[in-house]
Amino acid sequence: MSSFIRMRPEGDTLRVDDLPIRRVPVIPAHLSMAAARKVALLKQVSLLLVERDDQIVGTIDESALTEENDLTEVGAAMRPLATWLRPATPLTEARELFIRARAVTLPVIVGGFVLGATTRSDVERARS
């Protein structure tokens, strides 16, 4: 994905795949929050995907990274993966999903594969 917004032909709406899609590290659910913080700091991200038994099962976001105890297991602190975006999602719908999920960053998934993540600020910037 490019880091700039492509203009679609007149009449077409902007979609999630017009936004920057960032890579998101995947960490195992059994790690401690202290280890999760180290990964987030090293990768300079505010969202981590959580994996258990070879499946993505949740996310650790900025609030969990800030608030959870160091010894808490990631699997206990994660938010279940209930909201995500698809590349073809129109930005208007993406904005509504961000609002309903009260999320700053959401994963972008297609065909069961995680492409990465995008941010609400990217959506807001593209809509203005």
- Condensed to tens digits (0 to 9), the pLDDT of residues 80-121 reads 988 999 999 999 999 999 999 988 889 999 988 889 999 999
- Per-residue confidence band for 1, with pLDDT thresholds at 50, 70 and 90: very low
Residue 1 lies in a domain: no
Residue 8 lies in a domain: no
CATH at residue 86 = 3.10.580.10
Count of structural domains, the chain: 1
Residue in 29, 34, 21 with CA at minimum distance from that of residue 50: 29
Residue 98 lies in a domain: yes
What's the pLDDT tens digit per position in 38-49? Answer: 999 999 998 999
Residue 5 lies in a domain: no
* Predicted confidence (pLDDT) at residue 61 exceeds the cutoff of 70: yes
Q: What per-residue confidence (pLDDT) applies to 46?
A: 87
* Predicted confidence (pLDDT) at residue 8 exceeds the cutoff of 90: no
Residue 7 lies in a domain: no
Residue 110 lies in a domain: yes
Residue 38 lies in a domain: yes
Q: Is 116 exposed, middle or buried (0-12, 13-18, 19+ CB in 10 A)?
A: middle
Host domain of residue 42: 16-127
Residue 10 lies in a domain: no
Average pLDDT, integer, range 116-127: 92
List, as own/partner pairs, every contact residues 9-14 make where C-beta atoms lie below 8 angstroms and the sequence separation is at least 24, other chains included.
13/90, 13/91, 13/92, 14/90, 14/91, 14/126, 14/127
